[in-house]
Structure 1
Amino acid sequence: MTQENNGHNYCVMGNPIAHSRSPAIHARFAQLTGEPVRYGRLLVPLEGFEQALRDFARSGGQGCNVTVPFKLDAARCAHEKSERVLLAGAANTLVLHDDGRISADNTDGLGIVADITRNAQVRIEGRDVLLIGAGGAAAGVLGPLLRERPRSIVIANRTLEKARHLADTHAQVARETGASLQASALQAITGDFDIVINGTASSLAGAESPVPASVLRKGALAYDMMYGPAAQGFLDWAARNGAVARDGLGMLVEQAAESFAIWRGVRPPAAQVLRELRAELQAAAGR
């Protein structure tokens, strides 16, 4: 993007960014709602997030989505932070105000909850949930998952201390919702679960799943927060072991819809756009 920003008033910032489907999703949202949204990609140098954000705001930017590896930077840059950002320590949605203030929110958790409960039609309330990973992806979704009042959530991570820290920062929310919240080392997981959420990049490392099949209760939902080839190993493992396998494409679309609503005050038809995107991807894959 040039200093004039090529007329985009919204964008997604990240590194890498060429793969992002956010511009196509938001373009379709704009089409369907009639909102004057022009949305682009912005490749940001690894040490240059704050400068890139200032430049985008000066060029007329009104808001942006933030993806890896800048979600922690996005939270730090904000003057106003939602409860979700304060809990996660990370932000994926910024509003750039005319007076220079920046407001931050995190719509990742809202996205996964909407995809599980509305699109997959799986209830979280009263269920036992295993959340694999304790990095930014897991931190972004834990609060909204707890707000759905599951019976329990176990955070399992290769490094136990990180899982414990995430559990500690969400202990008050767990108390408020009556959910049991525990931390576990990956190799020490016991029991089985109704919903298993993979918040790691295990497939990219060549592993199908970071956990054994014994964690899957009969008919469990096995959800990978990634989508496309990156999620395929986990999805294959889940299906082979009798679980209902689902990737994170719906989470991507739903979190984008929440961002769009924050910026424009209009919630776009996420379910329609998700159906269209799935059909497009299946056609491209020759299925």
Structure 2
Amino acid sequence: MLKLGLIGHPVGHSMSPWIHHALMAQQGLEGSYELFDLAPEAFEESIEELLKQPMDGFNVTVPYKEKIIPHLDHLDSSAVALGAVNTVKRTDEGWVGFNTDGTGFVHSLSNRYPEVIQPGTRILLLGSGGAARGIYFALLNSEVEQVDIANRTVARAEAIINENKTEVRSRAFDLESAERHLAEYDVVIQTTTVGMSPNDGQTIISLTQLQEGTIVSDIVYRPMETTFLTEAKAKGAKLHFGHEMLLQQAVYAFQIWTDTNPDASALMDTFERKLKGV
């Protein structure tokens, strides 16, 4: 019987238990998925106790994606490159850390828009936090032409680019410049928490210059359609939703733990109804 879970603070709002119990049912597996809300002041002691438990693996969310690393025995290449872990698996060699953030996003995007990941595609990332770093790293390993990063603090965007030397063209600039240059991009990806409930009305930039047909993505999934996406839709954009990334990330973590190949698309309709409270 699988024993899985999620560590973070807070974690009470997480959809991960529902997703992973649904994946277990789909694959005919029995098990549990528990939430572990670890207080920051007691993290070191709490994580050491957790690692002694008979668990098969667990997910990691904020604020522990970096803090977990010293407690693990090995890291896979994605976790090393990103300096962050969101999935941990017990193996014969000990606890191994992985990062499915960026890969989950890129696959969820290409699942909805199969034509988007190709030579010539120009992408703009808004934000320079952990999610932006993961998505940027994954995009560099695809076939796109250009991935630029806009952030309030340009130095943080520059740091991500400088960490990942590649043939993919990249520039860093501030959010005001991003607003002026929106027409240059095929895809715009909002990677921050701006617009997340309860601050639903907030948007990170104005979309005045957005061109019809641009793919616009927001990793926020509460609300499911953010103000940013609503404004993009009004401009004739194609939308990509945060819950699609969330589900695909979870599927990759589940594959790591179980060596199965679950079907994310089979869960999407039910997952969307769950998020809407239907």
Instruction: State TM-score, norm by structure 2.
Output: 0.90
1:154 aligned residue (129, 143, 148) = 148
Are the counterparts in 2 of residues 196 and 216 from structure 1 also a CA contact under 8 Å? no
Structure 1 pair 119–188 and aligned structure 2 pair: CA distance change class (3 A): closer
Q: In the TM superposition, what whole-angstrom CA distance separates every residue of 1:152-195 from its partner, at most 9, and x where no partner exists?
A: 00011111111010001112xx22xxx21221121223533111
Are the counterparts in 2 of residues 224 and 235 from structure 1 also a CA contact under 8 Å? yes
d(CA) in 1 for partners of 2:53, 2:47: 10
3-state secondary structure, aligned to 2:41: coil
Deviates more, 1:205-214 or 1:147-156: 205-214
d(CA) in 2 for partners of 1:122, 1:216: 20
1:194 alignment counterpart: 186
1:73-152 equivalences in 2 (<5 Å): 73-97=67-91, 101-126=94-119, 127-152=121-146
1:183 alignment counterpart: 172
d(CA) in 2 for partners of 1:36, 1:228: 29
3-state secondary structure, aligned to 1:267: coil
d(CA) in 2 for partners of 1:259, 1:159: 32
**Mind listing any 5+ residue stretches in structure 1 that lack a counterpart?**
1-6
Higher helix share: 1
Q: Name the aligned partner's letter for residue 266 of structure 2.
A: Q
1:21-32 equivalences in 2 (<5 Å): 21-32=15-26
Are the counterparts in 2 of residues 194 and 221 from structure 1 also a CA contact under 8 Å? yes
Are the counterparts in 2 of residues 94 and 104 from structure 1 also a CA contact under 8 Å? yes
How many residue pairs get aligned? The number is 272
Deviates more, 1:183-192 or 1:130-139: 183-192
TM-fit CA distance, 1:246: 2.4
TM-fit CA distance, 1:227: 0.4
Instruction: State TM-score, norm by structure 1.
Output: 0.88
**RMSD value over aligned CA atoms?**
2.0
3-state secondary structure, aligned to 2:103: helix
Are the counterparts in 1 of residues 6 and 59 from structure 2 also a CA contact under 8 Å? yes
d(CA) in 2 for partners of 1:79, 1:215: 48
Q: Name the aligned partner's letter for residue 31 of structure 1.
A: A
1:276-287 equivalences in 2 (<5 Å): 276-282=270-276, 284=277
**Mind listing any 5+ residue stretches in structure 2 that lack a counterpart?**
none
Structure 1 pair 231–203 and aligned structure 2 pair: CA distance change class (3 A): farther
3-state secondary structure, aligned to 2:35: strand
d(CA) in 2 for partners of 1:135, 1:268: 29
